[in-house]
Amino acid sequence: MQDLGYETHNSVLNLGSLAIFLALYFLKMLLYLLMEATVRLTGRGQGLAKFLKQGLFFGDILALVIDAYFEFIISGYLQGLHPLFTASGEKVSIYIGAVGFILAFVILPSLLIWQLTLP
């Protein structure tokens, strides 16, 4: 893997800015959940909630996963093969590697199959 440019097993370092985009995606999802709760309680913010929903579930996740599919697989594989537990940043790396692996092998295939079965 060193010949391919992966000198470490740390998923945060291997993914680089993709780890930041993944974190921003989950923050946007949290904002969407808060907006849905606000809409149900007060009836306000329906337009913003709809906009966030369309971006989260029909655009952002597909763009993020398709663009970085192999990087998620490689970083998840390296992190799962020899996980490092020496610093708190490497503990976070284990979770990011696991999320990347789940995105690549569960969420993306499920979304693609769902898209193909729509009438």
In a domain, 119, yes or no: no
Are residues 100 and 15 in contact, defined by beta-carbon separation less than 8 angstroms?
yes
In a domain, 25, yes or no: yes
Integer-rounded Cα radius of gyration of the chain = 17
Burial 53-78 (b: 16+ CB within 10 A, else e): eeeeeeebbeebbeebeebbebbbbb
In a domain, 52, yes or no: yes
Q: What is the total count of domains within the chain? A: 1
Are residues 36 and 49 in contact, defined by beta-carbon separation less than 8 angstroms?
yes
In a domain, 118, yes or no: no
Are residues 8 and 14 in contact, defined by beta-carbon separation less than 8 angstroms?
yes
Going residue by residue through the chain, which has 119 residues, state the pLDDT in tens, using 9 for 90 and above.
666 666 666 666 767 777 778 788 888 889 889 989 989 999 888 888 888 888 877 777 777 767 777 777 777 777 777 776 666 656 777 777 788 788 788 887 887 788 778 76
Q: What is the domain extent for residue 90?
A: 2-113
